[in-house]
Amino acid sequence: MTVDIYWRIHMEGDQPSLRRRVRSRGGFAPGGTAPGARDGQDDGYSHADYMAEVAGAAEESGFVGGLLPNFPHTDDPWAAAATLARETTSYRFMVAFQPGFLHPVQAARMTATLQRATGGRIVYNVISGGGGPAQLWWGDKVEHDDRYARTSEFLDVLKGVWHGSHTHHGRFYRVENAGLPEELAGQPFPEIFLSGSSPAAIDAAGRHADHYLSWLEPFEALAEKFDAVRAHSATPPRFAVRVDLLARESEEEAWAEIEAGWRARPRGSGAQEGDSVGVRRSRAFLADAGDDPRALEVAPNVWGGFSQLRDGPAFGLVGDYHQVAERLDQLLDLGVDAFILAGIPHLEEARRVGRHVLPLLKGRTS
């Protein structure tokens, strides 16, 4: 079985490097590009134009598509996928969303419309929610464990509607004779990537996920997590890991980049509220690193300081091209079936990783 390798797309705007935490690409910081200014006037470009370049680079560099994440401060992945659908040819749009955002009938209709426009290139990253203040920001009052019950019901209704006339009277949703019209019927149902580190999440993943998606954690912790999912699933899902890479020709060059970013990082950021078990797990791995970023290298090339240098999870891989490829091979040996890779800036690093890292992968040894 082949391994699907995705490349993340930055819905929050992109940084030109890890050395300066400014998201100047995509209109999230003044004075940036796409949109930008030309002779003092708006240049007529938008974030969608830059994202189209990243999607194109990913497509040409060996990635099957990209994860489009979704947070209060970011652009919206449904909007981005629908905007870029016809500008790509093989790119799969992994759209992140929470079941609380959309009614399942609407989700089915939007998805089928996109499947039609793309020839079946939509993939789901279903998020049950980080909880706490952010959930109420979205206008969602459902409690943590209930949100996973809702996710299960949401996917049941969505699948029911997708495959025919469906009537359902449940705890969260009601529909009567709901189905897709002929114009939208018969499209492939998207693959589902489910995330979540809590027992409720793992239980939902066991029932619905094609892929159980985790952030990178120290490899032993990741292996335990996969074991827990296997133990809770009648048919174990495939496993996917989201990994940031900083890969360079030499190891010294790679760490020099980290050190420069570390010196320039804004202090005291990165605190997140909410009931996300994933966030708590990540923090628990990391002691205070002080001034030496290498103190966060919990295992060779596994570095836990990325969240200090850009938005997103803590762990990623740092090293030369061979080292990074070797760690990815080790993850395959742990049972990983799919990767969502990322690097800053997303445009140039997609090409770099496609040219220098992916060709070195050897695949599973066991």
Partner 1 sequence: MTTRSTARFHVVLPTRSPAPAALPPFVTDVRPALADSAGRAAVAADLSGWAGALVPFDPDGQESLTVAAGVLRRTRHLRVAAEFHPAVATPVYAAKLSASLQRFAAGRLGWRLAVDLDPAVARAQGDFLTGAARLARADEFLTVAKGVWRGGPFDFRGDFYEVVKGGFGAPLSSSPFPEVHLSGTSPEALELSRRHADVHVFSAGDDLAALIPELPGLRHGVHLPSIDAAGEYAALGVTEFFLRTDDVYRLGEHLKERAVDR
Which two tokens mark 236? 């174990």
Interface pick for partner 1 out of 17, 56, 140, 228 (rule CB under 8 A): 140
Minimum CB–partner distance for residue 15 and partner 1 (Å): 16
Minimum CB–partner distance for residue 213 and partner 1 (Å): 21
Nearer to partner 1, 117 or 221 (CB): 117
Cβ atoms 202, 249 nearer than 8 A? no
Nearer to partner 1, 98 or 214 (CB): 98
Give residues with Cβ within 8 angstroms of 10, minimum separation 6.
23, 25, 26, 54, 342, 346
Interface pick for partner 1 out of 182, 267, 290, 365 (rule CB under 8 A): 182
Minimum CB–partner distance for residue 269 and partner 1 (Å): 15
Nearer to partner 1, 187 or 282 (CB): 187
Minimum CB–partner distance for residue 250 and partner 1 (Å): 38
Give residues with Cβ within 8 angstroms of 42, minimum separation 6.
35
Interface pick for partner 1 out of 9, 58, 67, 112 (rule CB under 8 A): 112
Whole-angstrom distance, CA of residue 359 vs CA of residue 356: 6
Minimum CB–partner distance for residue 351 and partner 1 (Å): 24
Q: Which stretch binds partner 1 (CB under 8 A): 168-176, 186-194, 207-215, 218-226?
A: 168-176
How many Cα atoms within 13 Å fall on the side-chain side of residue 168? 22
Minimum CB–partner distance for residue 210 and partner 1 (Å): 23
What residues between 36 and 65 interact with partner 1 by CB under 8 A? Answer: 44, 46-48
Q: Is 109 in the site for partner 1 (CB under 8 A)?
A: yes
Interface pick for partner 1 out of 22, 102, 221, 334 (rule CB under 8 A): 102
Minimum CB–partner distance for residue 297 and partner 1 (Å): 34
Whole-angstrom distance, CA of residue 327 vs CA of residue 331: 6
Q: Is 164 in the site for partner 1 (CB under 8 A)?
A: no
State how far the alpha carbon of 55 is from the alpha carbons of 52, 254, 340, in Å. Answer: 5, 25, 14
Q: How far is CA 87 from the centre of its chain?
A: 21
SS3 38: strand
Q: Which position has the token pair 């070195």?
A: 360
Interface pick for partner 1 out of 65, 66, 69, 100 (rule CB under 8 A): 100
What residues between 66 and 95 interact with partner 1 by CB under 8 A? Answer: 72-73, 75-76, 78-80, 82-87
Give residues with Cβ within 8 angstroms of 297, minimum separation 6.
303, 304, 318
Q: What is the DSSP code string of 105-127? A: HHHHHHHHHHHHHHTS-EEEEE-
Residue count of the chain: 366
Interface pick for partner 1 out of 104, 196, 237, 313 (rule CB under 8 A): 104
Whole-angstrom distance, CA of residue 358 vs CA of residue 366: 19
By CB under 8 A, name the binding residues for partner 1.
Answer: 27-28, 44, 46-48, 72-73, 75-76, 78-80, 82-87, 100-106, 109-110, 112-114, 116-119, 133, 136-141, 157, 173-179, 181-184
